[in-house]
Amino acid sequence: MIRAAHPRVFARPLGERLRRATLLALAGLVLAIALWRVLPDWEAFVSGLGKLGFLVRFMIPPTHGGHLPQLLEGLAETLAMAFLGTLLAATVAVPLGFLGARNVVPVGLFHFGIRRLFDGLRGIDSLIWAIVFVAAVGMGPFAGILAIAVPDAGTLAKLFAEAIENVEKRQLEGVEAAGGTPVERARFGILPQVLPIMLANVLYFFESNTRSATILGVVGAGGIGLQLAERIRLDDWQEVAFIILLILLTVSVIDWASGRLRRRIILP
Amino acid sequence: MAGVSAGDAAVARFEARYRAEARRKALITAVGTSLFLAAFVASAIVGEIDPARFVAGLPNIIDYVARTLPPLSRDTPLADLGEWFWAIDVWLLLLADTVLMAIVGTLAGAGGAFLFCFHAAQNLAPNGWSFFIARRSFEIARTVPELVFALIFVYAFGPGPFAGVLAIAIHSAGALGKLFAEANENADPRPIEALAAAGATWSETMRFAVLPQTLPDLLSYGLLRFEINVRAASVLGIVGAGGIGEELYLVVRRFLYADISAIVLLILLTVAIIDLVCERLRKGLIAPGERAATR
C-alpha cells in the first residue's frame, strides 16, 4: 500500500537514476584526479612519516633556549599588529559601510561597484597582501598591519553595510520627520542601532587577526612567525614546539577575553 | 503629609540610584577608554609605527599598485591581454591544483571531524574522557595556523601539494569538528531517547537518531569550509606546499609587476566562481553559520 502511494521512493524514474549515476561518476573522477595530483609516491610518504616521527621526538621537551625575551617581543609585536590592523580596518570600514548600504546611497550602479570593491579586497588572503606590502614598504610590522587591515576593511565594510541595510526604518523616519540632515540621520537614526553589531564584529575580527598575525612573519611582515620560520630552518624543533605552545596560549587567552567582552556588548 | 514625604523619599532614592548608576557608567567608560588608549600607545611603540614612515610609505604603495596595472592599449587590446596573461596555461594548471588540494583537504578534514564529532558533543559523548580528548584535539588542530602545519609538513614530506593537503586537512578537522559537535548538541533529544528506549547501541543511536537531523548542517558546514580552504590553498604555496601561491611569491620577489596582477586576478576569479557554485549547492541544503561564511 505504501509502495502504491509513493512509487517514486521505491522505483525512481530512469532519467533521475541516470542523472544521479552521472553526477556520482563525475565526482568520483574529480576525486581520482585530485588524489593523483596531490598524493606523493609511497617511498616519499613513508620517509616523510619517519621524519615526522623524528620531529615530534625532537620537539620534546619544548624549551625557549634562552631566547625568551626575543620570543615574547615577537609575540607582543604580533598582538600589536593584530590590534592596530583591526583598528585601521574598522576605522576605514565605518564610512565605507555607510557608502555601501543601499538605504544610505540608493544608487544601483554605485552600490554594485562598491560592493565588488569590498569583494575584491576580502577575496585576497592577508598573506598575499603581506608579500605585496613587504615588497612595497619593506619588512617589518608596518607591512603586517597593512596586510591585516586591507582585506578586513573589505569584510568589515560588507558586514557593516549589511547591518545598516537591516536597521529599523521607523527611527530613521523619526529623525527625518524632525528635520534631520542626512548626517544627523546617519548619526542618530542608524548608528545607535548598528554600533553594538559593529563592535562585536570588530572584536571577533581582532580574535581572528591574532591568529593570522602569528604567521605573517613567515614572509617578513613582523611578529612571532619570523622566529618560527627561522627555528624551522635551523632545525631547532624544541624551540619550534615552544613557540607553537606560546601561540596556542596567546590565542586562547585573547579568544576568552574577547569572547567575554563580545557577550557583554551584544547582551547588555 | 505622610504620603508626600514617602513620595519624596522615593524620589530621593531614585535620584541617588540614578547618580550611582551614572557614576558607574562614567567610571566604566573612563577605564575602558584609558585601557584602549594604553593598548593603542603600546601597540604603536611595539609595532614601530612612525607617522613619518607611514607618509613616506604611502606613495610607495600607490606606485607599486600602479606598476602592476597591465599595459593595455586601445589599438591592440587582445594582443596586450595575451601578453598580460602570457603564462595562462601554467597558471590555470596551478589553479586547478590549488582547487584539487582544497577538495582533498576538505574531504579528509571533514572525515576526521565526522569520526569524532559525536564524541565531542557534550550531551552525546559516551564517556567523559573521550569527550575531553575529542574536544582538546579539535581545539589544538584549529588553533595552530594552517601555515605552521604546512611549514612542518613541507620539512617532513618535501615541497609539494601533499604537505598543503595535510595542513588543510588537520586545520579543517579542528574547525569542522567544533561546528559538527555543536550541530549535534542542538539535535532534538526525542529521537535519541526513543532509540535508547528501543535498546539501540550508542553507534546505532548516533546513526539513526542524530545523523538524519544534522546531516544537512554538516554538509553545509563542509561546503563553507571548502570555500575557505580554496583561499587557504592559494597561499600555502608561499612556504612550498603546492598550488598557485608558489608562483605568486616568485613573481612578487622578482618584481614581475604585470604577472602579479594577472595571478591575483585569476585567484580572485577562481574564489568567486567557487563561492558562487557552493552557494547554489548550499541553498539546496540549508544555510547555517552566517558568521563562518564571512571569513
- State if pTM tops 0.80: yes
Per CB-CB distance under 8 Å, the chain B contacts of A215 are 145, 147-148
- Supply the mean pLDDT for chain A: 86
pLDDT at residue number A266:
67
How do residues A13-29 score in pLDDT, each as one tens digit? 788 788 888 888 988 98
pLDDT at residue number A200:
86
To the nearest whole angstrom, how far is the Cα of A117 from the nearest Cα of chain B? 12
To the nearest whole angstrom, how far is the Cα of A80 from the nearest Cα of chain B? 4
ipTM value for the complex:
0.81
Tens of pLDDT along chain B (295 residues) come to 556 677 888 899 999 999 999 999 899 889 989 998 998 888 888 877 777 777 877 888 888 888 888 777 777 777 777 778 777 888 999 999 999 999 999 999 999 999 999 999 888 888 889 999 999 999 889 888 889 899 889 988 888 899 999 999 999 999 999 999 988 888 888 999 999 899 888 888 899 989 988 888 898 889 989 988 998 899 998 888 888 988 998 888 888 888 888 898 899 899 889 888 888 888 776 544 444 443 3
Name the grid cell of B117.
564529532
How do residues B206-263 score in pLDDT, each as one tens digit? 999 899 888 888 988 899 899 889 988 999 988 888 889 889 988 888 888 888 888 9
Report the amino acid identity of residue B172. S
pLDDT at residue number B105:
94
* Contact call for A219 and B47, based on CB within 8 A: no
Q: What are B42-45's contacts with CB under 8 Å, separation 24+?
A: B42/A80, B43/A79, B43/A80, B43/A81, B43/A83, B43/A84, B44/A80, B44/A84
Cα–Cα distance, A14 to A11 (Å, whole number): 9
Residue A64 in this model has a pLDDT that exceeds 80: no
Q: Determine which of A131, A199, A210 to mutate to test the interface with B (most B C-beta atoms within 10 Å).
A: A131
* Contact call for A142 and B54, based on CB within 8 A: yes
Residue-wise burial string across B179-188, b where 16 or more C-beta atoms lie within 10 A, e elsewhere: bbbbbbbebe
* Contact call for A80 and B253, based on CB within 8 A: no
3-state DSSP call for residue B287?
A: coil
Which residue matches cell numbers 548600504?
A101
Name the grid cell of B176.
569542522
Residue A35 in this model has a pLDDT that exceeds 70: yes
Over range A92-114, report the average pLDDT: 87
pLDDT at residue number A121:
86
Quote the percentage of chain A above a pLDDT of 90. Answer: 15
pLDDT at residue number B294:
38
pLDDT at residue number B31:
92
pLDDT at residue number B51:
76
What is the DSSP secondary structure assignment for residue A235, as one 8-state letter?
A: T
* Contact call for B147 and A132, based on CB within 8 A: no
Per CB-CB distance under 8 Å, the chain B contacts of A135 are 64, 252-253, 255
Per CB-CB distance under 8 Å, the chain A contacts of B260 are 132
Over range A54-60, report the average pLDDT: 82
* Contact call for A84 and B43, based on CB within 8 A: yes
Answer for the pair A83, A206: CB distance below 8 angstroms, yes or no. Answer: yes
Over range A73-100, report the average pLDDT: 91
pLDDT at residue number B4:
67
